[in-house]
Each structure stands twice: as structure tokens, then as C-alpha cells.
Amino acid sequence: MKRRKFLQSSAAAMGATLPLPLWSPGFRFPHQDIDVDAVTGDGREITLGGAPIKELDSRMRGRVLLADNDGYDEARRVLNPSFDKYPALIARVTGTADVRLAVDFAREHRLLTAVKCGGHSASGKSTCDKGLLIDLSGFRGVRVDPSGRRAWVTGGSLLGRLDHEAMAYDLVTPMGTVSHTGVGGLVTGGGFGRVARKFGLAIDNLTSADVVTADGEFRRASPDRHPELYWGIRGGGGNFGIVTSFEFQLHQMQRQVTGGAIFFPIESARDVLTMYADYGREAPDELALDLLVVLPPGGAPGMVGFGVCYCGDPSGAESVLAPVRQVGTPMIDAIEPMDYVALQRSGDTDDPRARASYLKSGFVPEVSSGLITAIVDGVEGHPNRSTIMFIQHSGGAIGRVGAGDTAFPHRDAFGNLGLGVDWAFGDDPSEHVAWIKEVWTRIEPHTQGFYVNDGDPDAYENDTVTNNYRTNYRRLVEVKNTYDPTNLFRLNANVEPTV
């Protein structure tokens, strides 16, 4: 047997990708013909033949990974290790051509299909058991045109890269607050962040997108081309296809903002929340005040305060922040002039997959006296875990967009409230999940709908999705009927087709 052929067949026999020296001939070792147990979107057990899997792998530039392949375990993981799932196969795509091949394969075999970008999904819908996981994490890139104030971001990118590239020219577009979050999930769901009150949600700055829809076709979605698809992907999540490229408008903004955090003793919670109820409405668009309530385990003293970003003229920062500072005597005042990109990275974790977590969330129309009492009297700390409650500040430019202008209808919200607990992976989660659900019963009556990107695993049951999209739901169904009539993309806040 010739050496090349021997290597190829032994690698195939091992079902593995061998590390090759740089000077190796440019061929790849094919998969063996191994049948794989899988599941369809509607839950039927099927057997996928080895031959079509092998063919998909050979046509892709990226790789198809089966359970015993190198890289499978890394590729199947998402941020929250509670979602410990085992797809039948993973398509690690590297570009639009691969995405089209993977979507065609999924549709032809009617496979349960998950799409992963940054893997931050709170509902765990970006992975699945026994389906096909289309993993976009090898498809990352950002291009900025400073003179045209535009950025193009590939579908698997993380937002920190966009912040970094754009800020090199004192340009910005609103993204989330943790830089290892995926642009793919964040933007299709809405996209709140530190400069959203000034410039709108991420979707309000999306000028066009390239989408591979369920039929495997490539479509450019913009106000002029596939306008209904363009409308739907701005808030309708991953329901209609896989966005392979996002085009954003960028805004001029100085690199140095005033940001950080300020905390008061938990005993000041009522005063802090009362100030927030008023000032959160009146504050200039340049100020984002994200409420933070931190309750350490075992009844240890808690803190209430804000994550702050003021992106206006630095000389005005002191007066804009005065109402916040004057509400009490802070335990910590770490608000200072700082680099915007550094602020965007300040919430990153070194080992983001180390902790399992559970989050309940809902939009609050206002910080009413009822909500204040519910928080002050009703949110106690978990007996042996830290509890975090936040309200991500909305309003400003976010609220000046019409509820039907994009698929995201919650323009009237004061903010997005979340209540979460985390624990070391491996602990029994049931106690923690039950505990958060119990505390949430006191907060939920003060919420209206929820942010699809923060929905917990139960959030998409029954009529909640229909109601949550409010009057936009019917139009979303029409978009779904056109672009995904068989509901290939169902692992999301699912809009069910009616055709």
C-alpha cells in the first residue's frame, strides 16, 4: 500500500482527524461510513446513513464531527454547562458555502437543527441531543469601512471583535455588555447594551444581512431586498435562517467614556430604586444605568447599585451622575473615565464555561412602587449561592422606534429585568432552579413579556411566544411561512408556520 493511501485509511479507521505537518499533501481523511442514530425536528428517531454524512464532510471546507471525533466535545459545548447535550453530528462551518451545505443536509434529512454562534443562549436552544448542530464558531471576521461608517460581521463572530475594530476609528455600534457574547444570537433577538439608549438596539443599526434560509438559498435582506425577511430577522431570532453576514451602521463616539459601577448597602435599596424609577426615565440618552442587586450567600450583606456608562461629553459626566451619587453613601464608587472597549470587556470571565446558571427574566414597563416593594421585601439571597438581579436600562433611542418597525415589539419597556443564580457545574441544579422560580413568583407580576434572548428553558412553552411578539406575531408567521415553511429552525422562540 502506498504511504499516502495507508495514512488515509488508518485515519479513517480511527474516525479521527490526524494532526499533519505543514508539508503534508493537501488531502483530508474522509469519515468512515458509520450510520448514526439521530432525531428529526418533530421527534422521530431515524438512522442517518454513513454515506451522506461522508459526502457532506467531503463537500464542506469545514468538518463534520461525530461523537468519537477529535474536537466534537469542544464543539458541542455552550456557555452554560447545564446544557450538556450530544448532537448526532456537528457541522463546523467556515463560510456561507458550508452553511448552505449544512442547511440542505438538515432539510433533506428533516433533522432537528440547532445553530450556535457565541453559545450564550439562556434557554440552551443553541445545542441539542441527537440532532445536527451547525456550529458557526469557526466563521468569525469583522471588516470596518471607517469612511463609509459601516461594519460587516460574519455570522459566527463575537461582539468584542466588532467593538475593538470599530473603536480603532472612534466608531461604535450598539452591542451587548459582555464581549464574548455572539453577534449571531444577540443581534437577531434585539441587542441591548451600554450605548443602546443613545444609538438604538443592535437591530436598529442593522442595515442589511446575508441570510441562508431554510431552502438553502442565499438572500440579501435589506429595506429593498426581501424586506419582510429584513423586518423579521430584527427581533425574530433565528426563526428564518442563518445570518452569514451582518452589515451595521457605525456612529462617531469618543473612545473614552465614563463608566464602571457604584454600589450602596442593600439597606438603601428602597431609596436607590425610587431614584431609579424617576431618573431612569429622565436621564439623557448618553447615560445607561443598569441596576444591579448582588446578594451573597447565607444572608451576608448585599449591595445595590448600577453598572454605568456615560458616553456623552466627559465634562458633563459629573452633573449627569450627581443624582446617582447623591442617593446615599456608596460602599464602592468605581465610576471613572475609561476606555469603551475595556468597559465592554469588564464583565468577561476568564473561564466562561466554568459555572452553570439559571435565569428568569421579563421586561418591566416601569419601576413601580409595587415592583420596588417586591424587590425590597421579596428578593432574598440564596442560602448558599450568590444571587444577582439586574435591570438592563432601556428607553432613549430604543423607545423612539415604533413597535411594528422591527419584529422586536417591546419598545415601551423601562428595562429588562433578570434574576439569576449560578453554581459549580456538577452540583445538582434542581434545588437552585426551584429556588429562583420561587423568588421569581414575587417579581413576575410586575413584568410584561420577556426578551427572547434571555428566555429560560421553559419560557417558550404554550402561548408565551405568540403573546410575547404582541401584534407582530401574525406578520412573523407570514415571514416564517415564506422562508421556513417546514420549521427547520425551531430551536428558538419559535414562530410556528401555518402552511
Q: Which residues bind ligand FAD (CB under 6 A)?
A: 78-79, 115-122, 125-126, 136, 155, 176-178, 181-182, 184-186, 188-193, 237-238, 242-243, 453-454, 491-492
- Tell me, what DSSP letter sits at residue 19? P
CB 454 to ligand FAD: min, Å: 6
CA–CA dist 110, 242 (Å, integer): 16
The nearest distance, CB 157 to ligand FAD, in angstroms, is 9
CB 202, min distance to ligand FAD, A: 7
Shortest separation between residue 99's beta carbon and ligand FAD, angstroms: 9
Distance in Å, CB of 201 to ligand FAD, minimum: 8
Cβ distance to ligand FAD smaller for residue 189 or 381: 189
Q: Given the complex with ligand FAD, which of 29 and 231 has the nearer CB atom?
A: 231
* Distances 1 to 10, 24, 25, 264, 270 between C-alpha atoms, Å: 12, 18, 17, 74, 79
- Residue with Cβ nearer ligand FAD (113 or 472): 113
Give SS3 for 371: helix
- The letter for the amino acid at 132 is L
Q: 378: buried, middle or exposed (CB in 10 Å: 19+, 13-18, 0-12)?
A: middle
- The three-class DSSP label of residue 134 is strand
Residue number with CB closer to ligand FAD (211 or 269)? 211
Rounded to an integer, what distance in angstroms lies between the CA atom of residue 388 and that of residue 383?
A: 13
Which of residues 8 and 468 has its CB atom nearest to ligand FAD in the complex?
Answer: 468
CA 113 to chain centre: 17
Query: CB-hemisphere CA count at 13 Å for 413?
Result: 27
Cell 431570532 belongs to 237
| Partner residues linked to 144 by β-bridges | 151
C-beta closer to ligand FAD: residue 115 or 283: 115
Q: How far is the CB of 13 from ligand FAD (least distance, A)?
A: 34
Nearer CB in complex with ligand FAD: 29/390? 390
* Number of Cβ atoms within 10 Å of the Cβ of 115: 32
Q: Minimum distance from CB of 123 to ligand FAD (Å)?
A: 8
Alpha-carbon Rg for the chain, nearest whole angstrom, is 23
Q: Which residues contact 134 (CB under 8 A, 6 or more apart)?
A: 90, 91, 93, 99, 102, 103, 106, 113, 114, 115, 116, 242
Instruction: Give, in degrees to the nearest 5, the angle at Cα 343 between 443 and 400.
Output: 55
Which C-beta is closer to ligand FAD: that of 140 or that of 251?
140
Give the shortest CB-271-to-ligand FAD separation in angstroms: 26
Decide: 44 and 62 in contact? Cβ < 8 Å.
no
Q: Which is nearer to ligand FAD, 176 or 409 (CB)?
A: 176
Least separation in angstroms between residue 79's CB and ligand FAD is 6
164: nearest Cα among 151, 154, 388, 155 = 151
Residues whose CB falls within 8 Å of the CB of residue 148, separated by 6 or more in sequence, listed in order? none
